[in-house]
């Protein structure tokens, strides 16, 4: 059975609207009689400044879950909410067209909050609100960081090729430590020998400090001469 309603573009309810539901809580319900239990009813409703599309249980009780919610202030649309925090549903955007965001995007999550993949699908960029960030405070510089260890991977390396912490910079080959800068420059009490006199710069004498490194698992020291 089909019904056809004709309306126009007038300035009053009767002239402008083909169908008008008018009450303090207007509701338009859809019932799919062939659906499973508690999957038959869909509703559209308006309440105050909010318009909602939601599911509701077969007994039409208060067991409902928002699918889409619009909030307005006067004629202005102030918020659009997708899904709900009860079902924690997923979202799928089909098609290959580009998505454009003219405002900032906030991603809230404790694990892999933002994952960008190619068609393989292999992870191209993976960011987490807990483990790392990408950004910059200037228009010319870029920054990448982590609250723990920042690992940089190379294809086929079997692990990180470079690992940066607050106190070390580690270089790895085939996931085996090859060279690590593991301390800030320091001094000691030993007297090294065998230094030549062809150092560049303007000052002479021995090293001003020593940079601790690990090579092949063995602690080494690199002399640092003053200029």
Whether 179 contacts 163, CB under 8 Å: no
In the predicted model, is pLDDT for residue 20 greater than 70? yes
Instruction: Report the range out of 53-57, 103-107, 123-127, 166-170 with the highest average pLDDT.
Output: 53-57
pLDDT tens digits for range 129-178 = 444 566 655 666 667 777 678 888 776 667 778 888 888 888 888 888 88
Of the listed ranges 52-56, 144-148, 189-193, the one predicted with least confidence:
144-148
| Residue 55: both structure tokens together | 């599911």
Question: For residues 153 and 171, what is the distance between their CA atoms, to the nearest angstrom?
Answer: 11
pLDDT score for 159:
76
pTM (predicted TM-score)? 0.55
**CA 125 to each of CA 51, 115, 164: distance values in angstroms, whole numbers, following the listed order:** 36, 6, 18
Q: Where are the domains of the chain?
A: 1-85, 107-145, 149-188+201-227
Question: For residues 172 and 159, what is the distance between their CA atoms, to the nearest angstrom?
Answer: 8
Question: For residues 131 and 149, what is the distance between their CA atoms, to the nearest angstrom?
Answer: 8
Whether 210 contacts 186, CB under 8 Å: yes
End-to-end CA distance of the chain: 92
| Residue 214: both structure tokens together | 């690990």
pLDDT tens digits for range 70-79 = 999 999 999 9
């Amino acid at each position: 059975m089909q019904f056809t309603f004709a309306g126009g573009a007038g300035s009053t309810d009767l002239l402008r609207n083909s169908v008008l539901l008018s009450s303090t809580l207007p509701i338009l319900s859809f019932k799919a009689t062939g659906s499973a239990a508690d999957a038959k009813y869909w509703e559209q409703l308006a309440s105050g400044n909010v318009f909602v599309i939601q599911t509701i249980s077969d007994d039409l009780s208060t067991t409902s879950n928002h699918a889409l919610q619009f909030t307005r202030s006067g004629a202005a649309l102030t918020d659009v909410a997708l899904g709900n925090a009860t079902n924690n549903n997923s979202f799928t955007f089909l098609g290959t067209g580009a998505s454009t965001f003219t405002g900032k995007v906030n991603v809230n999550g404790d694990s892999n909050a933002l994952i960008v993949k190619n068609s393989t699908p292999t992870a191209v960029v993976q960011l987490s609100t807990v483990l790392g960030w990408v950004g910059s405070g200037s228009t010319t510089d870029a920054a990448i960081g982590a609250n723990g260890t920042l690992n940089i991977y190379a294809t086929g390396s079997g692990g990180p090729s470079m690992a940066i912490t607050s106190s070390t910079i580690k270089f790895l080959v085939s996931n085996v430590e090859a060279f690590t800068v593991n301390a800030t420059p320091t001094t000691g009490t030993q007297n090294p020998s065998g230094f030549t006199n062809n150092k560049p710069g303007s000052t002479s004498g021995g090293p001003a400090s020593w940079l601790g490194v690990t090579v092949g698992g063995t602690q080494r020291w690199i002399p640092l001469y003053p200029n």
